[in-house]
A = this chain, B = another copy of it.
Amino acid sequence: MVEYGDASPEVRQVYDDIMATRKTDSVNNFWKALARHPATLRRTWDDIKQVMAPGTLDALTKELIYLAVSATNQCPYCMASHSASARKKGMTEEMLGELLAVVGMANETNALAAGYRVEIDQQFRNGT
């Protein structure tokens, strides 16, 4: 992991932007790991900043979606860091409970649809 003190100017610039955007004075291990490949650090941070910014979906809803993917993928780091972000943005214990209930059901019914090889209904065939 690349600590601030050891970072190149281009990495520090990203770290500074992360801390300024998130109003914190430290950078998570995820970014310190990506800093081993500065192009990936730069690109990933720029993308995350764009994608997670509030739009038609608010910032909390986006965090909930992020958590849904991370629980499905069994990513312990992502659950740990993003459940903290989600709480900062207003996720309550009850919201987490409802979120995970839906995530659990979706994983269950995804497997059932594959297991029974359910054919797509005529009226759903024209795209998402």
What is the interface of chain A, defined by CB distance below 8 A to chain B?
Answer: 1, 28-30, 33-34, 36-37, 39-40, 43-44, 47-48, 50-52, 55-57, 61-62, 64-81, 83-84, 92-121, 123-125, 127-128
Nearest B residue to A66 via CB reads B106
Nearest B residue to A30 via CB reads B118
Whether A44 lies near B79 (C-beta < 8 A) is: no
Whether A57 lies near B105 (C-beta < 8 A) is: no
Apart from the given pairs A76-B120, A78-B109, 12 other A-B contacts in the complex at a CB distance below 8 Å: A1-B119, A36-B97, A36-B116, A37-B100, A44-B108, A72-B72, A72-B114, A75-B110, A81-B120, A83-B128, A100-B115, A107-B108
